Structures are given as structure tokens and as C-alpha cells.
Amino acid sequence: MSYSHSIKRLVVIASVLSCTQILSACATAHDTAYTPGLGELMTQISARHLKLWYAGSSENWELADYELEEMHETLEDLAKYHPTHKKIAGSVPAIIASFMTPFITQMEVAVKNQDKGAFQSSYDNLTTACNSCHKANNYGFNILERPRANPFANQSFRGKL
């Protein structure tokens, strides 16, 4: 075997090994499961909180129920993916159960009964619970309130098509 043939063979082997390394690295990156951060989940809850207000205020009870269920699921994800957090003293699932569960249950009743007055009161109670939780867990700078403007201008909250 000639010297030039040996060099070509080594270059081909090195190229194959390099490609294998690169493909292996890509496969490893894709195999790693993504875990949403605490802030991402809280942003999702905030959007659901806002949409819940517009749905209930428009007496679109089906959408209000949907947004409330999505908020509840996101709280479950928060407890699952972040059972503890660097700024929070204690168990995140226990904190959610303590601060949020009673007010979500209250809201579920108002939505189920399609009672706009109870909805508004429950919404305010839920908002207060969110803010109390934030304050108790070193996030008191993050204050929720009734929405003043709808950032979801492309969504109708009136009802079905």
C-alpha cells in the first residue's frame, strides 16, 4: 500500500470518526428532556389568569373552565418540575396546596354555577392568593391584578363560533 493511499485512508477514517462524534453529540442533545423553568411556568399561569378574567367577564363559561383547568395543570407541572426552588423555603407542592388550591376550588364553583358575581369575587380572591404566595416566597415584586387591557387582541372571549 502506498504512502498516499495510507494517508487517504487515514483521512477517511478520521472523517468518519468526526462525523460519528458530531452525530452522537446531536443525538445526545435531542435525547435530553426539556424542563421548563419556574419563570416560564409562572408566565404561563399569568397568561391563563388574564384569559380567565376575560372569559368569565364575558360569561364564556366554557372558556373560563378551560383556562382554569390549564392554570391548574400548569401548577401541577410547577410542583412536579420544581418541588423546591432556590428562593423558596419549603416544598413547592405544599405551598401551592396551601396558597392556591382553596381559591382555585372556589373559582371552579363560580364557573360551574356560571355566576358572574361569584366569579368576580373568586377572581379577586385568587389574585390575592397569588400575590400572598409571591410575597411569602420572596417574589413580592411580582404583583398580579385585574387586567386593564387585553394583550390577546386576536382572541374573542365572547363565546363559540
Which residues, 6 or more positions from 125, have their beta carbon under 8 angstroms from its beta carbon? 103, 106, 107
Per residue in 104-148, pLDDT (tens digit) is 999 999 999 999 999 999 999 999 999 999 999 999 999 999 999
Q: CATH number of the domain at 38-136, out of 1.25.40, 1.20.120, 1.10.287, 2.60.120?
A: 1.20.120
pLDDT of 5 > 90? The answer is no
CA dihedral 74, 78, 79, 80 (to 10 degrees): 90
Question: Cell 423555603 maps to which residue?
Answer: 89
In the chain, what are the domain boundaries?
Answer: 38-136
Per residue in 14-25, pLDDT (tens digit) is 454 454 455 555
- What average pLDDT does range 155-160 have in this prediction? 89
pLDDT at 9: 55
What's the whole-number average pLDDT of the chain?
Answer: 87
Distance separating the N- and C-terminal Cα atoms of the chain: 77
Q: Three-state SS across 10-35?
A: HHHHHHHHHHHHHHHHHHHHHHCCCC
69, exposed or middle or buried, with CB in 10 Å at 0-12, 13-18, 19+?
middle
Per residue in 60-83, pLDDT (tens digit) is 999 999 999 999 999 999 999 999
Q: What is the DSSP string of 113-144?
A: TT-HHHHHHHHHHHHHHHHHHHHHTT-TT---
